[in-house]
Structure 1
Amino acid sequence: MEALGIAGNVAAAAPMPDLPAGFGKGRSVIVLGAGIAGLVAAYELQQAGFDVTVLEARDRVGGRNWTVRDGDRIVMDGEADQVARFSDGAYFNAGPARLPSFHHRILGYCGKLGVPLEVEINSSRSAFLMGQKGDKVRMRTAINDTRGHVAELLMKAVNQGALDQSLSAADKQALLPFLKTYGDLDATGHFAGTLRSGFQAFPDAGVGVFARPPAPMPLDRLLANEQLPAMLFEDNVYMQATMFQPVGGMDRIPAGFERALRRKVVRGADVTRIRNRPDGVEIAWRDTKTGAGRIARADFSVCTIPFPVLAKVDCDFAKPVAQAIAGVVYDHSNKVAFDSPRFWEQDQIYGGISFVGGETSLIWYPSAGLFSPRGMLLACYTSGERAEGFAKLPIADQVERARAAVERLHPGHGKDLINGVAVNWNKIPYSLGPWPNWFVGMAGHQEGDIDTEGYRLLCQPAGRTVFASAALSQTPGWQEGAVQSAHHAIAAIAGLQRADLGARPDRVAA
C-alpha cells in the first residue's frame, strides 16, 4: 500500500512473517478468544497449514467488535438484561464504529474477506459545540470565526513589530497575505465575518437575496464555550477523513473472518485452566450451556482473553507473567443509543458529531441510511473518569440523562428517542473493560508511547502460549492494534515452531 501512496507519512508496523503454506503442517494451535486478534491469528495460522481450533466464551464472535441488532440481548454484570428493540435494519455498534484510512491492515482484510465498506462521516460542519451553560455554536462557525479572530490578532502583532525577533522581513512579507486568506480578513486586516461560517440568509434566484456572511461571533463568546477545543477533533490523525465503516455494521468483519475458517468457532467455551507442557498446551474449558467440562490439547496456544478476565483463570504462567496480567488496569467506556426519526437532518446534519461535554460527552449521528425515516443516534460515548461515574448510575438513569443531553441540544426532540440501550464495557462479561490504561497513576504518557515492564513481558511468549490483543499494541483502542498484535503473535508462534524443528531433526519444514 505504501507503493500506492496509501500509507502516506504514517509509518507502518513490522509486517507479519511470510510463512510458507505448509509451514505448520502436522502442528496444532488453540486460539483462546474470537475477537479480532484471535480471528486474525486463526486465519493466518490456518493459511500456514496449522490445525486451528478457536474457543470463544460468548455466543458470538468479534469480542469488543459488537453490533447490537433488534432482538439482541445486552447482558452486563450486576444489571438486568436489556433487549434491543430497533427498527428494521437498524443497528448499534456498541464497540468500535470507525476505521481510519491509514489502518491498512484491517482495511486490507476487509478487501480480502469481501467485507464491503462505506464512508463513515466522522465530522460535520453543521454539527454543534454546546457548553454546559447551554450556549451552542455550529462547528463551521466555531472553526472559521476562531480562525478569523486569531488571524486578525496575529496580523496586528506582525504589523506592530511584536514578532520582529522571530520573523525576518521576508517571512513577514509571506505571512501577512497568508493570514489574510487563512482568516478571510478584509483589506485592512480586520475580521468582519466570513461566508465560510454560513449565510445571514441563503442566496436565492435573481437579485433579491445576495450572499452575505453572518456577523462574526465575538471571540470572548467563543472562548467561553468550554467545548471549543473539540473543533480540532478532526485534526487528530486517527479521526481525519476519509474514515470507513462496514456496510451493515462493524460485526461484518468478524463474520467475514469466521466464514474463512475451515473449522467453526467453538462458542460457549469458557476457559477455566491453561497449562503449558514441555511439548504442548492443555486447555480446560466449560460449556456455558451444559456446564460440562472439556479438555483441548495442541502444540501451541494464542491467548487473546482480555487481561482482567485472564487474571481470574487458573494458569501456570511464571510469577512475573501472572503479576503482569493481574496488574493491567482497564479504562472505562460507555455508550447509550436510541432508535429515532432523523430530526437532525432538518438541521443539515448528516453524520458527524456534536460535542456537548458533561457526563455524556457527545452526540454521534449515523452515517448509514441518510435520508431514510429512522436511524440509530448515539447520545453518549464517554471514557475515563466521567465514564466510571456514569456507569454507577442505574441503567434507566443513564438512558434518561443521555436523552436529556439530546433535548438540550435539539429542543423538543428528546421525546422522539425510543428504545434506548446502554452499554458499560466494564460490566460486559468476558471483556470487563474496553482497553487498558497502561499508565494509570502516571503522567506524561500518551497512546503510541506504551513501554512498561508488564507490557514488554506480555509481548513475549509464556512457554508455548503467546498473547495477542489490541492491548498489546501502541493503539489499544483500535482494531488495527488487534491485527498488529495478532501478526506479532504469529511471528512468535513461528519462532517456537522453528525452535521445535531445530530440536527435532526428524522433522523438516515444508
Structure 2
Amino acid sequence: MTDENKNEFTKRDFLTSMGLISGTAAMMTTLAGWNMAMASTMMAPPKLSTEGKGKKILILGAGLSGMVCAMELREKGYEVQIIEAKPTAGGRCMSARKGTVIEDVGGDRQVCDFENNQYLNVGPWRIPPTHHSTLYYCRKLGVALEPFINKSFEAYYYQSEGEGPLTGVPIRQREVDADRMGYVQELLAKCITGGTLEEKITTEDQEALLEYLRSTGLIDRKELDYHANVTRGWDRMPTVGTDMGKLADPFKLTELLKMKLGSREADSEHTPALFQPVGGMDQIARAMERAIPKKIFNFNCEIAEISQTDSDVTVSVVDTKSGKMKTFKGDYAISCLPFPLLNKIKTDFRQDVIDGLSAPASAPVVKLGLQFSERFWETQEDIYGGITVNDIDESGNISYPSSEMFSNKTGVLLTSYAHRGGAIKLGNRSSAERIERGLEIGELIHPGRFRKYFNGKGISMAWHKQKYQLAGWVQWSRRNIETKMPALMKGEKRVLFSGNGMAPNHQGWMFAAIESAWNSISDLDKRVAKD
C-alpha cells in the first residue's frame, strides 16, 4: 500500500470492522449485499448435450450423489445401474425412527424405539436457503419443507471450563449476545467521541455512526455507557397498571471476556432460520429413490474390485446375503463411495488417484438423540427450537425440535453432535454408555429435568464406526486440495469420482454431494461425446 492511500478505509477494512463489532453474521449480511456471500452458484442440473442411448453407466453407491447421477442420466437415455452394499438407499441422508437398526463395526447393535413416529436426523439436519441445489430437488420431487429454528435467544451457552462466574452455569444466549454487543458499542462510541477514528472515517460518517449506536437502545444517548435494556431482558416483566417491572443488570465486561462460546453458528450457512423436511431428512432420499425404477438398484452388493480397460469398466461384488460373487460391466462408472471405503477396495487406479483418495483425513462424527416424555424445554424454559452451545467435547450442541411445538407429545433432543476427539471418546462408548453420558451432560444444562423426563429411549450414530461409511466426512487441507484434488477431478480412464469428498469446502452438506454429481455427469457427457 502506498503512502497516498494508506489511510483509505478499504472494503476489507470495513468487513474486518463489521466482524469485530457485530460478529460474523453481520459481516456475512454485508457480503450478501455485495453478492459475495457463500451461496451455491448452481441452480439446476447441467444441460447434457449428448444422448446416452447404448451407453451403460455403473453408479457406485446409492447415496444422494449416486441417485442424482442416476436420475439425470436416465433422463438422457443412459442405461444406469446403482450398486449399493447396504439394503437401503440414502447414504448419510438418514433419519432414525422406530425400527431403524444401527450397527457399529465391532458389533454394538441398536434398534430405535422412539414413540409417536418421532425421529432423529442422524446425518444432515439443516438446509440453508443458499443451498439451491438441495432446494431444487425438494421442489422437483415434492418434498415438503418447514422452518428449522437454528438460533433461539432463549437457548443457552454453557462453558464447562475456564474462570469466572459464568463458568459452569447455563446462560441465556439473549443475555450474553446483548451484553457483548452493548459493551462493544459503548467502546466504539467512546472511540468516536475521543477522536480515535478521525483518520479512519470522515467526520460526517463518524456522526452518522454515533447516531446509529445511540439509536440501538443499548447505550445511554448522553454518557454512551452500556446499561440494562429490553434487548437483554427482564429480571421481572412489567404487568399491569403502574408495575414497570425491572430490567436485568448486564454481566460485567471482564466476566464476558472469559466466556469463549457464542459465535460458532454465526455464518452464512447457519443463519437463524433454515429449513428441514417435514417428517425427517430421509424424506429427500426416499423421494429420490421413488423417482428411480426399482430395477436400477442392486442392494446388498459389497464391492470387492474395480478394473478398467480402454473401453469399459468391470465392478466385482459380493452378495452380502448369499456370499456369491458377481460382476457388473459398463462403459463408465461413477464412484460416489466415501473415500475411506473406496480406499479399501482393490482397484487399478493410477497412483496419483490413489494418493488423492487417501489425502483427506477421515472425520469422526457422533450424534446422539434422547426422547423425553414431556417437552420441558418449552413448557418450563421457554425454548422453542434453537441450539444450546456448549464446550463439552462429547456434546457440543443440544438442539431443540422445530416441529410439533406446543403439542402434548414426547420430544426428541439432539443431545450430542460430537466431532474430532469428542466423537472418538463418545464413539468408543457402548450405545448404553453414550445415553448415560448424554444424560450427565444434559443435567448440567437442564438440572433436575433431563433424567426426570427421559423416557428411556435413545439412539446414537457413530459415523466413523459404520462399515460402509467409516467417517462422517473427509477433511481436506488447503495444500492437498491444490496438489491432490486435480487428479480426482481428472478421473480415471473409465471411472469418475463424485460424492461429498469431491467438495472439500462444504464437507458434510447435502448440496456438496448433489453438485459433485452434477459435475460428474457433465464430465461424463463430454467424454461420451468424444467416444
Q: 1:255 matched to which residue of 2?
A: 286
Q: 1:395 matched to which residue of 2?
A: 431
Tell me if 1:172 matches 2:206.
Answer: yes
CA positional deviation for 1:192: 1.5
Q: 2:375 matched to which residue of 1?
A: 342
Tell me if 1:46 matches 2:90.
Answer: no
Q: 2:302 matched to which residue of 1?
A: 270
Work out the CA distance in 1 between the residues paired with 2:250 and 2:65: 49
Partner secondary structure for residue 196 of structure 1:
coil
Q: 2:465 matched to which residue of 1?
A: 427
Letter of the structure 2 residue corresponding to residue 250 of structure 1: M
Contact 1:468 1:489 in 2 (8 A): yes
> Structure 2: where are the runs of 5+ without partners?
1-32, 161-166
Q: Any residues of structure 2 matched to 1:73-472 within 5 Å, and which?
A: 73-132=101-160, 133-182=167-216, 184-188=218-222, 189-204=224-239, 206-227=240-261, 230=262, 232-262=263-293, 263-340=295-372, 341-345=374-378, 346-359=380-393, 360-372=395-407, 373-415=409-451, 416-417=453-454, 418-439=456-477, 445=478, 451-472=481-502
Work out the CA distance in 1 between the residues paired with 2:217 and 2:508: 35
Aligned-pair identity (%): 31
Work out the CA distance in 1 between the residues paired with 2:85 and 2:406: 39
1:122 to 1:419, Cα distance in 2 relative to 1, 3 A: same
1:146 to 1:358, Cα distance in 2 relative to 1, 3 A: same
1:233 to 1:412, Cα distance in 2 relative to 1, 3 A: same
Q: TM-score, normalised by structure 1?
A: 0.90
Work out the CA distance in 2 between the residues paired with 1:316 and 1:74: 33
Letter of the structure 1 residue corresponding to residue 525 of structure 2: A
Task: Decide which moves more: 483-492 or 370-379.
Answer: 370-379
Work out the CA distance in 1 between the residues paired with 2:368 and 2:459: 6
Q: 1:481 matched to which residue of 2?
A: 512
1:8 to 1:154, Cα distance in 2 relative to 1, 3 A: closer
Contact 2:265 2:271 in 1 (8 A): yes
Contact 1:470 1:481 in 2 (8 A): yes
Contact 1:16 1:490 in 2 (8 A): no
CA positional deviation for 1:450: 7.3
Partner secondary structure for residue 88 of structure 2:
coil
1:8 to 1:259, Cα distance in 2 relative to 1, 3 A: farther
Partner secondary structure for residue 335 of structure 1:
strand
Letter of the structure 1 residue corresponding to residue 437 of structure 2: R
CA RMSD of aligned residues (A): 2.0
Contact 1:195 1:212 in 2 (8 A): no
CA positional deviation for 1:118: 0.7
Partner secondary structure for residue 275 of structure 2:
strand
Q: 1:17 matched to which residue of 2?
A: 46
CA positional deviation for 1:190: 1.7
Contact 2:96 2:459 in 1 (8 A): no
Task: Decide which moves more: 234-243 or 458-467.
Answer: 234-243
Letter of the structure 2 residue corresponding to residue 146 of structure 1: R
CA deviation profile, 1:53-94 (whole Å, cap 9, x unmatched): 111111111111111111211111124201111012111111
Contact 1:13 1:484 in 2 (8 A): no
Work out the CA distance in 2 between the residues paired with 1:220 and 1:11: 37
CA positional deviation for 1:224: 2.3
Work out the CA distance in 1 between the residues paired with 2:38 and 2:168: 39
Contact 1:148 1:182 in 2 (8 A): no
CA positional deviation for 1:114: 0.9
Partner secondary structure for residue 234 of structure 2:
coil
Contact 2:39 2:131 in 1 (8 A): no
